[in-house]
Every structure is written in C-alpha cells, then in structure tokens.
Amino acid sequence: MGIIRSSFAFIVGTVAGVYVAQNYNVPNIQKVINTGLLMAKQIEENYRKPKKPPSDDDT
C-alpha cells in the first residue's frame, strides 16, 4: 500500500501529461529554449565591449 500511495502523484501527473500532449497543441520546449539562447547570444555579442588592441608592452 505504501508504494501506491507514494507514487500516486507521479502516476496522475504522467497520465495528465500524456492526455494534454495528445489532445492539445503543446509547444516544443527544446525549440523555445534554443531560440532564447540564440537571441541572448546575439544580444551579448552586439553589446560586448570591443577588445583592446595589443600594445607594444606585451612581449
């Protein structure tokens, strides 16, 4: 009885997730994350400070 009681929430969540995924238009989370990371990388590159040119002191 203990294992059924402890895993009840997991089982209900899994069944609900399968139902929602089959019957509704759920977005692809991996695609959304990759798009967000690409946009963040592009913004970071646009606003990055320019690199200092190498000086003659560095040898």
Domains held by the chain: number: 1
35-52 pLDDT, tens digit per residue, is 999 999 999 988 887 778
Max CA pair span of the chain = 77
In a domain, 58, yes or no: no
Q: What secondary structure, in 3-state letters, does the chain show?
A: CHHHHHHHHHHHHHHHHHHHHHHCCCCCHHHHHHHHHHHHHHHHHHCCCCCCCCCCCCC
Residue 56 lies in a domain: no
Q: Is the pTM of this model over 0.85?
A: no
Domain assignment present for 14 = yes
Containing structural domain, residue 8: 2-46
Is 55 part of any domain?
no
What's the confidence (pLDDT) of residue 54?
75
Would residue 31 count as lying in a domain?
yes
Q: Predicted confidence band at 1 (pLDDT cuts at 50, 70, 90)?
A: low
Residue 52 lies in a domain: no
CB 16 within 8 A of CB 23: no
